[in-house]
Amino acid sequence: MFRTENALILREVRFKESDRILTALTADAGKMTLAAHGALSKHSRIAAATQQLTYAELTLFEKNGRYTVREGVTKEGFPGLRQDLGKLALGSYFAECLEQYAGEDQPEPELMQLGLNSLYALSEGLGSCEKIKAAFELRLMTLEGYAPAEESCPVCGRGDIREPVFLPEEGQTVCRACRKAGRSLPLTENALAAMRHILHAPAKKLLAFRLTEEEQSLLSAVAESWLLHCSDRNFPTLAYYRNLKL
Ligand SMILES: [Zn+2]
């Protein structure tokens, strides 16, 4: 039986002489495993469409619950990622996060939109890597039900949190004066406003905030530590990205 899916290729693994096994994200069916026979051979018609970090319309053949890619048309290849090792590494980290959080056999339209928009922003340079990364991480956690608490200080109840600090073990934002022992990460009022924007803005406006470089690095530390805390695992692609930046 044939069906068509628009798929973002999250991961490709070489298999046998010239096959690829793909992990792909689709809007309609979530995460899927696909076989792309001959994709690595010289004259393959599906070579480009089955590359990691490519968005493509794939024609799939299903037999006994296994899917094979029969045809593929690239819809977006994110060329900016292939010309910059740092962007490619960060895009791979986004893909690893999406693979971690996408469900199977269930629609994932919001994850798909976040993934595509973030890769596009990265490819086109619509913001710094650190800005796009922080927005991706915080929005992903929000979509997955792990939105950090940011409305008011849970200790004193103030809505205008004074000299805000983020508690990455609790996912709470408190006033500097209200924090207790334990790890805390400083924010500024601007950085907190940007965090609130990322949590609540329409998808297309996700990057419509401005921070100084210093404030951005505060927000980046909060976003990354919150994602790592919620995920309770390491991401090899993140370590690789960090190594490149050093
Ligand atoms: Zn307080």
For 132-171, the pLDDT digits (tens) are: 999 999 999 999 999 999 999 999 999 999 999 999 999 9
pLDDT computed for residue 76 by the predictor: 98
Q: Which two tokens stand for residue 96?
A: 């690893």
Longest dimension (CA), the chain: 66
Is 181 a residue whose pLDDT tops 90?
no
Architecture per CATH, 79-245: Up-down Bundle (1.20)
What spacing in Å lies between the alpha carbon of 162 and ligand 1's midpoint?
Answer: 7
Dist. CA 178 → ligand 1 center (Å): 5
181 CA to centre of ligand 1 in angstroms: 14
Distance 161 CA to ligand 1 centre (A): 6
Q: How many Å lie between the centroid of ligand 1 and the Cα of residue 3? A: 55
| Spacing, Cα 164 to ligand 1 middle (Å) | 8
CA–centroid distance, residue 189 to ligand 1 (Å): 13
- Report the top-level CATH class of 2-76: mainly beta
156 C-alpha vs ligand 1 centroid, how far in Å?
A: 4
DSSP 7-71: EEEEEEEEETTTEEEEEEEETTTEEEEEEETTTTSTT-SSTGGGSTT-EEEEEEEEETTEEEEEE
Please give the pLDDT value at position 96: 98
- Cα separation, 151 vs 213, in Å, equals 24
Q: What's the CA-to-centroid distance between 144 and ligand 1, angstroms?
A: 27
Average pLDDT, the chain: 96
pLDDT in tens, 93-132: 999 999 999 999 999 999 999 999 999 999 999 999 999 9
Q: What would the pLDDT profile of 12-45 be if each residue is shown by its tens digit?
A: 999 999 999 999 999 999 999 999 999 999 899 9
* Same fold for the pair 2-76 and 79-245: no
The domain locations on the chain are: 2-76, 79-245
The string of pLDDT tens digits covering residues 209-233 is: 999 999 999 999 999 999 999 999 9
Residue 85, pLDDT score: 96
- Determine the pLDDT at residue 246: 73
* Residue 134 CA to ligand 1 centre (angstroms): 25
Check residue 56 and give its pLDDT: 98
| Cα 213 to ligand 1 centroid, rounded to whole Å | 26
Average pLDDT over residues 43-68: 96
Cβ burial of 105 (10 Å; 0-12, 13-18, 19+) is exposed
